[in-house]
């Protein structure tokens, strides 16, 4: 699990620790960057102050076949650094389909990018208040050519946290590759623990060639009284990608900081975690 710590010698800067990883592909190549903000403990200049940002990009390869006359995704994986270098990064700028291979056996390559942003609000009646937001963006620009389509099944984006924070939902928006709004739904929510949304990644009906290009969510977390006694906790944004019709359900952990999709073997995840948050 790659871990990064970003701290400043400035006494007005909160400690900012970051973890970026995939549970299913621990050796996945992840292009990553994180930027802790400065002077966030002093809210005199602004009521809403940036704590920091996290960027994470993974490289994806999916394979397709025709089963019972229907094109389906048979595998999806996050590639290692050596695999990405062997293929060449330029091949991931759009879908790369080998035209000499029959349509019943082809592959696609793309990228998934997560952007996790955390603000602290000082103009509040609560003892402490944070506003996290997270956006997931796919780079699959040539899926509309008609040879391949996104994998079947819903994908999931969610926030989970420790420290027993209450929360209010602020926003959830998904759009397809043409900019049209996509439907989302609440897959699971637990008071003081987290909220997860689900959405259809691929075509909405037979013959449709659109896919969900981007989904973004935000919320407000707050506590009436600090109870951590100087201890800290974590805030997590997690994305789950499936490549089968899911049969299980999303479950937010009641003992830790996380969530999982049960009953669906064909899945992988990308996780961004910001730690050292007071509670």
Q: Which range of residues forms the domain containing residue 96?
A: 3-278
| Euclidean distance between CA atoms 220 and 193, whole angstroms | 13
- Give residue-wise pLDDT tens across range 55-87: 999 999 888 887 787 777 888 999 999 999 998
> What pLDDT was estimated at residue 16?
76
How does residue 91 score in pLDDT terms, banded at 50, 70 and 90?
confident
- Give residue-wise pLDDT tens across range 269-279: 999 999 999 99
3-state secondary structure of 170: strand
**Domains identified in the chain, total number:** 1
pTM (predicted TM-score): 0.88
| pLDDT over 50 at 102, yes or no | no
Residue 195, H or E segment: strand 194-200
Q: Which two tokens stand for residue 170?
A: 């602020």
| pLDDT over 70 at 209, yes or no | no
| Euclidean distance between CA atoms 238 and 22, whole angstroms | 10
Distances in Å between the Cα of 158 and the Cα atoms of 24, 138, 235 are 17, 16, 11
């Amino acid at each position: 699990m790659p871990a990064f710590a970003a701290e400043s010698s400035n006494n007005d800067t909160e400690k900012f620790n970051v973890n970026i990883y995939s549970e299913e592909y621990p050796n996945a190549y992840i292009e990553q960057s994180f930027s802790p903000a400065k002077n966030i403990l002093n809210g005199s200049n602004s009521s809403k102050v940036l704590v920091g940002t996290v960027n994470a990009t993974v490289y994806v390869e999916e394979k397709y076949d025709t089963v019972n006359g229907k094109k389906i995704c048979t595998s999806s994986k996050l590639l290692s650094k050596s695999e990405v270098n062997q293929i060449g990064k330029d091949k991931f700028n759009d879908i790369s389909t080998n035209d000499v291979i029959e349509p019943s056996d082809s592959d696609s390559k793309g990228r998934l990018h997560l952007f996790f942003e955390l603000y602290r609000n000082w103009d509040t009646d609560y003892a402490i208040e944070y506003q996290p937001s997270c956006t997931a963006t796919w780079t699959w620009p040539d899926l509309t050519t008609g040879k391949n389509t996104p994998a079947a099944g819903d994908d999931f984006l969610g926030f989970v946290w420790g420290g027993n924070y209450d929360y209010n939902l602020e926003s959830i928006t998904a759009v397809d590759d043409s900019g049209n709004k996509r439907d989302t739904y609440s897959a699971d929510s637990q008071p003081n623990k987290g909220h997860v949304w689900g959405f259809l990644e691929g075509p909405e009906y037979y013959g449709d060639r659109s896919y969900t290009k981007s989904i973004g969510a935000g919320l407000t977390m707050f506590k009436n009284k600090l109870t951590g006694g100087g201890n800290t906790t974590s805030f997590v944004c997690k994305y789950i990608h499936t490549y089968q019709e899911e049969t299980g359900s999303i479950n937010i952990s009641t003992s830790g900081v996380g969530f999982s999709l049960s009953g669906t073997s064909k899945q992988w995840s990308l996780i961004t975690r910001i730690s050292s948050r007071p509670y």
